[in-house]
Amino acid sequence: GEAVVPVAKCDVKEYNSNPKEQLPFKEFVEYWREYIGNGYRSSRGCLYLKDWHLSRSGLLPKIPALGMAFPEQDVYTTPVYFSSDWLNEYWDAVAVDDFRFVYMGPKG
C-alpha cells in the first residue's frame, strides 16, 4: 500500500501524452474504488496506473530510489508464449533497466 506508483492523468494531454503524478499505491486504489462508486466519474478525472516497474528486484542495487518496493518477492514470470524474453535478458545482464510494467485502472 505504501509503494509510490506512476499515475497518468488520462483526461489531460501534453505533447501527445498524458502527464503523470506519483501517488502511494493505497491512494490510487482508494481513488479507483471511489471512481467506480461514483459511476466512473471523479473531480480528479480519469487516473490510470501506468509504467510501474514492480518487478525491478535487485536490478539496480546501487541506486535504491530506482529499486523495487518489494525486493523479497518474485512478482514476475515471463508467460510461456513469450518465454524467449530476449529484451529483458539483455537488460537484466547489464543491470540498467527492464521492460516489465504494471498497468491498471478503471475502464474508460
Give the separation between CA 25 and CA 16, rounded to whole angstroms. Answer: 26
> Model-level pTM greater than 0.85?
no
pLDDT at 93 over 90: no
With beta carbons less than 8 A apart as the criterion, state whether 11 and 47 touch.
no
How high is the pLDDT of residue 96?
67
Q: What are phi and psi of 33, to 5 degrees?
A: -60, -45
Model pLDDT for residues 45-78, shown as the tens digit of each residue: 999 998 887 766 444 444 444 445 565 666 667 7
pLDDT at 3 over 50: yes
With beta carbons less than 8 A apart as the criterion, state whether 41 and 35 touch.
yes
Give the separation between CA 11 and CA 17, rounded to whole angstroms. Answer: 10
pLDDT at 107 over 60: yes
The strand pair at 4-9 and 102-104 is best described as unpaired
Average pLDDT, the chain: 77
